[in-house]
Amino acid sequence: MSTARQLPTVAFIGTGVMGHSMAGHLLDSGYPLVVFNRTPEKASDLVARGARWASSAGEAAVLADVTITIVGYPTDVEAIYLSSDGIISRARAGAIVIDMTTSTPTLALRIAEAASARGISALDAPVSGGDIGAREARLTIMVGGDEAAFDQVLPIFQVLGKTVTHMGGAGFGQHTKMANQIAIAGTMLSVVESLAYAKATGLDPQRVLGAISAGSAGSWSMSNYGPRILAGDMAPGFYVKHFIKDLRIALTEAQTAGLDLPGLDLAKRLYERLAEQGGEDLGTQALWKLYGG
């Protein structure tokens, strides 16, 4: 790791809906940045602003003290970390690697074990807050892994988010994100059903939203996604297809723990229906479409 006088070089892999803003905040804060994305055009303006382009995730890791990833699916995480030319095989001894993808606790443990065998520290640090939280640098970051490594990269996390919490050992960040997604699933369901009820009974949904969001029914999802729903804005702050992935992980982990979560199962089935109707690339607020929106 670089000295306190010199900011560590950060490799950032995955410059999509959220990763692009996150990488930009690191550049703005003075961190030397290396970037890689499967679609190079999504990182071109970061390169124009001073980031260095790498031709692969492994190459990016070679050049960095800290490697951050935020990609789509656990299969993507496994490929970029554990392949023969991946991050773990190519990162420097003493480096810290941080997966901020919402992935599985089991995979986080595998990555941590593989990293440790090479003298690398691995953290699982999924985030909540969507595109808005990423743009405004106020993400909630839930971190699992070695506490000393966490302390070392805390200044980086603080560039990206407002609430940063070390949750415990490897995989505990992912378990915390599952709890987060379970809460979001139920909340989004309640938001769209309340607005559907307002519309069906002849109320003005805009006035209803203003009235109830200020009271005990209020939530982040209601305040941020309610206006988007009523404006017909289904652009993704977080993709339906990625949310379905998260809900499936959460159900699997709950079943492993011997826990029955019927509300989560209902939300998963509704989102799967939305995806079957062509909504997988919309934002999670597009659940509204199942209610005639």
Query: Does residue 226 contact residue 155 with C-beta atoms inside 8 Å?
Result: no
Where in 136-261 does DSSP place strands (E)?
139-145, 161-168
As a whole number of angstroms, the distance between CA 21 and CA 216 comes to: 32
Listed in sequence order, the residues at least 6 apart from 231 whose beta carbon sits closer than 8 Å to its beta carbon are none
Residue 42 annotated to the active site: no
As a whole number of angstroms, the distance between CA 32 and CA 28 comes to: 10
Q: Which of 162, 177, 241, 245 is catalytic?
A: 177
C-alpha 24 chain-centroid distance = 16
As a whole number of angstroms, the distance between CA 123 and CA 39 comes to: 25
Classify strands 33-36 and 52-53 as parallel, antiparallel or unpaired: parallel
As a whole number of angstroms, the distance between CA 268 and CA 169 comes to: 28
Query: Does residue 55 contact residue 40 with C-beta atoms inside 8 Å?
Result: no
H or E, element range at 48:
helix 44-48
Quote the tokens at residue 209.
């939203």
Quote the tokens at residue 276.
């079957």
Amino acid at 89: S
As a whole number of angstroms, the distance between CA 126 and CA 264 comes to: 19
Q: How many CB atoms lie within 10 A of CB 210?
A: 12
Tell me which residues are annotated as active site: 177
